[in-house]
């Protein structure tokens, strides 16, 4: 016969039952925390955040890194005053108060996301509120120590740590793979020192000349490495909202422009390739205009009655360049520009790219003439720089890269122009700087060659805007054995008292590029060689600006 349980035994059974119930409640709570969805299907812990490796410059300097932060959630049923809680949490975190209150009053959702990736300062403010029902979940936030300096180039990530622009998007797989392997970093081709100098000088020039926008590039012509790229206005990638005047647009990679007279580089290169010039001493009649059918091409500035071929480029004559281009003809011009990659979008790891605009099937005499001096054709600045670098680097095609290359790398590929043509162009670009419109870039000891461009700005209905220019300068140094190119673009600069009211490239883009070269050349180890002998000095020419042609001819060059 079994004895009845004692009082002590009954208490043990009751205690065990209470413990089991407690464990069940804890299990239910864990399920509630980990599985119950926030409004829109997001779990309380948020989506899984995939780690990204650091982005560094070519010298190991940090450009971007994941930092540990927290996401904040709330259980609104524990608030005793929901409107006041919404107000206080919005003030502490920057969240939208109306959104919070609407979430707090929605009985279907036991959890409400307050804010993602809050800073330690915001976390301290939240803790100071003393509200019940708050939970912090580990997360990460991408941090850019240089702020605005390379904003459009580096790009940004979204709250889930996915790259949405720039190198963050273009190198996403590399960054995730490196993080998974524990490698720690992906080294870019960028040189932070050069990037800072370029961004600073371009920003100063834009401010000085009150330009709408400005940008620049520094590139190695043998490896294709982009050492620096900037677009102004820029933005702060560490902030999730833009300030007045900010822009996330990378105008160097994703916009196309009629670049004007710097396109004459290609016209002279084609003439050397086709042997359509007898010599650089060949004299061309300039006169008062060049009649092509019902159109007349004019110079924007007064030119001599005749010019030798070398001075057509040095003084930037539209009429002289048109005559030279017409000797090769439209079909050959189109074929040549296509071989340089100018008639298709440039593919790099940057997701930002642009499709060029050009005459298409209707490439006749007037189109050949206008394209020869950079009108009626629109390309991205990055595409132009890649093509022009191929002209001066020995004639071999080069594709820009944003990944650091091993020492001694030579990424030049197929021969697109003859080596002797490249040598002739280097001499001619040096002449433009010593005796032409690029004189302000004649930096003693650094043997700079280059070409200016001042183009009219297309407006609505196929008409150019009055008194509006886009100015640019392409420079190579040391030009007789080129290693680097610098390109500066200014969108609608205005003349100043110091420039006598002139806003042409010789006064705006050239000095900015010269300042960049003077500052970066010592950093890059370019020897300060003795100044080469110059030809007899000539009166400083005034750069020929954009031509005047019928409005129907600008339909191809609408800027995007």
DSSP β-bridge partners for residue 389: none
Pairing of strands 54-56, 185-187: parallel
pLDDT at 336 over 80: yes
| C-alpha distance from residue 266 to each of 313, 395, 449 (Å) | 11, 12, 15
pLDDT tens profile 221-271: 999 999 999 999 999 999 878 999 999 999 999 999 999 999 999 999 999
Q: Is 307 helix (H, G, I), strand (E, B) or coil?
A: strand
pLDDT tens profile 347-388: 999 999 999 999 988 899 999 999 999 999 999 999 999 999
pLDDT at 79 over 60: yes
pLDDT above 70 as % of the chain: 86
Looking at residue 193, its pLDDT comes to 98
pLDDT band at 540 (very low <50, low <70, confident <90, very high): very low
Q: Would you say how long the chain is, in residues?
A: 560
Looking at residue 128, its pLDDT comes to 93
Looking at residue 550, its pLDDT comes to 37
Give the chain's domains with CATH numbers: 54-187 (3.90.1310.10), 195-234+250-557 (3.40.710.10)
pLDDT at 544 over 50: no
Mean pLDDT of the chain: 88
Looking at residue 530, its pLDDT comes to 55
pLDDT at 414 over 70: yes
pLDDT at 16 over 80: no
CA distance 19 to 369: 91
Please, is 548 exposed, middle or buried when counting C-beta atoms within 10 Å of its C-beta (0-12, 13-18, 19+)? middle
| C-alpha distance from residue 495 to each of 288, 399, 437 (Å) | 26, 35, 16
Q: What burial letters (b/e) apply to 347-360, b meaning 16+ CB within 10 Å?
A: ebbbbbebebbbbe
Higher local confidence (pLDDT), 125 or 37:
125
pLDDT tens profile 138-167: 888 899 999 999 999 999 999 888 999 999
Q: Can you spell out the DSSP letters for 432-446?
A: HHHHSTTGGG--TTS
DSSP β-bridge partners for residue 363: none
pLDDT at 19 over 70: no
pLDDT tens profile 519-536: 999 999 997 765 455 444
pLDDT band at 51 (very low <50, low <70, confident <90, very high): confident
Sign of torsion over alpha carbons 253, 257, 259, 265: positive
Catalytic residues, by residue number, are: 261
Cβ atoms of 310 and 281 within 8 Å: the answer is: yes
pLDDT at 28 over 90: no
Looking at residue 267, its pLDDT comes to 98
- As given in the structure block, the two tokens for residue 163 are 């790259």
Looking at residue 18, its pLDDT comes to 60
Cβ atoms of 384 and 262 within 8 Å: the answer is: yes
Pairing of strands 449-458, 464-477: antiparallel
- As given in the structure block, the two tokens for residue 251 are 């105008």
pLDDT tens profile 287-312: 889 999 999 998 978 899 999 999 99
- The phi and psi torsions of 386 (rounded to 5 degrees) equal -60, -45
What is the reported pTM? 0.83
């Amino acid at each position: 016969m079994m004895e009845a349980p004692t009082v002590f035994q009954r208490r043990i059974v009751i205690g065990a039952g209470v413990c089991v119930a407690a464990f069940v409640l804890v299990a239910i709570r864990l399920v509630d925390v980990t599985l119950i969805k926030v409004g829109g299907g997001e779990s309380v812990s948020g989506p899984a955040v995939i780690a990204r490796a650091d982005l560094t410059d070519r010298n190991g300097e940090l450009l971007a890194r994941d930092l540990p932060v927290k996401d904040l959630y709330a259980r609104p049923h524990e608030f005793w005053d929901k409107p006041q809680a919404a107000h206080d949490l919005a003030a502490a975190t920057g969240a939208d108060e109306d959104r919070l209150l609407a979430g707090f009053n929605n009985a279907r959702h036991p959890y409400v996301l307050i804010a993602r990736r809050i800073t330690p300062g915001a976390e301290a403010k939240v803790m100071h509120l003393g509200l019940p029902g708050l939970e912090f979940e580990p997360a990460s936030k991408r941090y850019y120590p240089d702020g605005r300096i390379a904003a459009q180039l580096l790009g940004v990530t979204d709250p889930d740590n996915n790259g949405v622009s720039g190198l963050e998007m273009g190198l996403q797989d590399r960054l995730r793979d490196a993080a998974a392997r524990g490698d720690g970093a992906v080294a870019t081709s960028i040189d932070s020192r050069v990037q800072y100098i370029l961004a600073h000088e371009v920003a100063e020039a834009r401010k000085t000349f009150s330009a709408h926008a400005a940008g620049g590039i520094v590139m190695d012509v043998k490896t294709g490495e982009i050492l620096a790229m900037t677009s102004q206005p820029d933005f702060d990638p560490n902030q999730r909202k833009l300030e007045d005047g900010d822009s996330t647009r990378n105008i160097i990679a994703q916009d196309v422009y009629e670049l004007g007279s710097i396109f004459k580089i290609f016209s002279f290169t084609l003439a050397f390739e086709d042997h359509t010039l007898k010599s650089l001493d060949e004299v061309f009649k300039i006169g008062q205009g060049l009649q092509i059918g019902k159109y007349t091409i004019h110079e924007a500035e007064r030119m001599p009655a005749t010019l030798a071929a070398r001075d057509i480029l040095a003084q930037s004559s539209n009429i002289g360049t048109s005559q030279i281009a017409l000797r090769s003809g439209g079909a050959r011009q189109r074929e040549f520009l296509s071989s340089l990659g100018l008639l298709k979008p440039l593919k790099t790891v940057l997701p930002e790219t642009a499709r060029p605009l050009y005459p298409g099937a209707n490439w006749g005499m007037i189109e050949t003439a206008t394209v020869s001096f950079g009108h009626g054709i629109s390309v991205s600045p990055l595409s132009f720089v890649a093509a022009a670098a191929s002209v001066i680097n020995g004639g071999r095609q080069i594709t820009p890269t944003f990944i650091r290359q091993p020492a001694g790398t030579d990424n030049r590929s197929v021969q697109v122009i003859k080596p002797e043509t490249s040598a002739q162009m280097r001499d001619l670009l040096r002449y433009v700087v010593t005796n032409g419109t690029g004189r302000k870039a004649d930096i003693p000891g650094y043997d700079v060659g280059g070409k200016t461009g001042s183009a009219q700005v297309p407006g609505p209905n196929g008409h150019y805007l009055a008194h509006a220019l886009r100015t640019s300068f392409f420079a190579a140094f040391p030009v007789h054995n080129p290693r680097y190119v610098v390109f500066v673009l200014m969108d609608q600069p205005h003349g100043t008292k110091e420039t006598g009211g002139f806003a042409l490239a010789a006064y705006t883009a050239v000095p900015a590029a010269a300042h960049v070269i003077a500052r970066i050349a010592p950093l890059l180890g370019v020897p300060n060689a003795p100044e080469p002998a110059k030809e007899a000095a000539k009166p400083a020419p005034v750069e020929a600006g954009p031509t005047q042609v019928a409005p129907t001819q600008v339909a191809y060059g609408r800027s995007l």
